[in-house]
Structure 1
Amino acid sequence: MMPGALKARLIVAEYGWPVVAVLALVGVCCLAGAGWVVATPPTEEYTARTDEQTFASEVHTSALVANGSSLWQQRDRIEDAPVYVLSAAPDLTLTQTLDVPDDRPVDVTRTITLEYRAQRDGRTFWRTHQTPVESTRTIVDGEATNDTTLNVTRIRNRRDEIEATLGDAGTIQPTLAINVTYETANYSGVLDASAPLRIESNTYTIAGSLDANRTRTTPVTRTRTGSADPLVYGPLGLLGLGSLAIAAVAGTWLRRGIDATVVRRRIHEQRYAEWLSAGTIPEPSGGSVVWMDSLEDLVDVAIDIEKRAIHDRSRGRYAVLDGDVRYCYAPKTAETDTTDDS
């Protein structure tokens, strides 16, 4: 039997059923703890984004051909072109589509502003603006489309007029600005975008995007349940099962009967096995007998005189023979008469 098992048997033999009770209690507590860890996993709070709503303004451009040519027929409509020819199509139409939530009414105010900026070295030192469009409405079906037409020839003439007044003080840059304010029961805000209207001798273009959008959400604090940590309930469960198993084994030992003295002797035999030899102690033929109090004391003598200790299993005794002197040890259960020669 392994030394550890013998020590366990000795503890059980010395302390009896209380050891079994403690082991069983530890096992039950560990299993209960593992079950509690599994049944009550940790929770954590997190912020969820709810009631997501998107508000968008999208602008497309087009121009109606007023003066036909070899390139276009009169009344043709040019759409979303990167550049328009001023002499052929002087009227620029901005088609603005508002896309809002369709599950609630949305109040919107849209404004289109034409601004003239006087700039020098990239810095604005004078400005004025016109507001061709400013309207308010309630959208109930999620979408609304509006057209706004600007005469680019008039815009160019106004630009040239301001530049003539300013002389070489700076340059004039017309700029289009889109502004949309929206309001619902839960959200309100602004969508805005702007881009220069670049007008050359016979062409014009919007140098940028006039689209804008924004997504709104409402933060809500919620709680979610995580998973139990296997590094916690796993060892607890194993410890509980192990404790119950050891308690069962210890109970079996006690029911079958276990002698602490016998177990202790076997432990000593294993501990001093390298100094013990099994054999038969010969009958005495005179000399002296020295009785030792413990096997450990006998082994110490054997080590000191460099002799082997003999274990006579049939008589349950140990002896070291050194000439006419016998050093003997007999466990209490086997010792009968210390005056008897070994």
Structure 2
Amino acid sequence: MGSSLYLLRVKSAVADSGIAIAVGLLLMCILSAVIVSTGVITPVSNYSPTVLLSDDATESPSETEHLITQANDVDARVSHSTAAYTSGQQLRNEHAYPLGAVDNVTVIGSSKGEAATVTQQELVLAYQATLPGESSAFWSDTTVLAEQSFEDYSEGEVVRVQDTINISDVEQRQESLQDDFGGDVNVETMVLVRTQYEYTHPGKTTDPGDDTVISKSAEHTNKISFTEQLFVLPNTAEETSSTTGGEQSSQSNGGLLNILLIALTVMSGIGAVYSIVGARRYDSEHVRFELDEARHEEWVTIIDRFKDSSASTTSRVRSLSDLVDLAIDKHDRVVYCCTEHKYYFVDGDVQYEYEPDVYPSYANTFGDVVTPQATTDEEEQADTVESDPETDSTTEPQEEDTDHPSNDDPPET
């Protein structure tokens, strides 16, 4: 009922003031379309063609520049004693580790944003194969060891993700891949720290709403190398060594505002067309009755016949709402008679009535609506003839003329 009542209110407004509503919606449609097309207000105007081609256009930061620092730390525990290492010995951020004496290595990836907000960080183990003389890998395989998203990041905060890898399994996988690809192919194993972050790119004005949020992804790479007795897993605090570049975020203020403006343009255009069509199509009196019917349905009792009340006075009201208001004031209800197609409310010696021009939705509750049958012209003429006093008079018998003998009389002799 809530949605239908809302639609009826819209129809009623359109029926009463459809043209005025259409004019307002058309103006809104034109204004929002101009704003979107020219970018004179929205933050995305900094990226519109007219601004980017201008001499004083604001340049975006280079894609190779990042506003965060990344690093990885390495923790290992000696599990088998050797001449150089003791079982249980803790090794942290060493340049090299004994291959046969260390089974598991914990890698900790960290990121810090000074003028940026870190949103997500991953620790990845990657294998790749490269042909001689080429820098791009023709084959790669990655496994996400750990990942974490950050919703309440504070600038300058260091965030970390970590996981433990079995170094013997890593060595065996690399040797297996090397055997598959052959000796000419270079197979490498790396630990990657991938970080997603955002920063605000200032607009051309001092208005904070003119700023645009930029999203970037940075990747810090550390290669694992093996010798006959050692493996090397560097730990560094250097800036990122590779990057996947930056792009404008879909969550930027300008993009979101323009999406809303485009939606406003479309909706206002559709609303204007609907208002124009509805103003010509809807009958305001009928729509107003439908609205009253929906609003007051719970105050109406439906009956099939209405017996004349003992009220001495009958009074007609203007609308169903007026009749229901009278009943509510008396803490009573209104009845609708399907046979007579009328609403009634009796208050003491006064009987209030309302007869709508259209049938309500519940008019057929007790069967088909009984409509008064029109009298045909022939029936009206027949009734007129029967009731006409001139044609209804009886014909008086005429007196016989005795002066003229009848042909049946016998002749005189």
TM-score by length of 2: 0.35
Higher CA-based Rg: 1
TM-score, length of structure 1 as denominator length? 0.41
The answer to which structure, 1 or 2, has the higher relative contact order (CA under 8 A, 6+ apart) is: 1
Which has the larger share of strand? Answer: 1
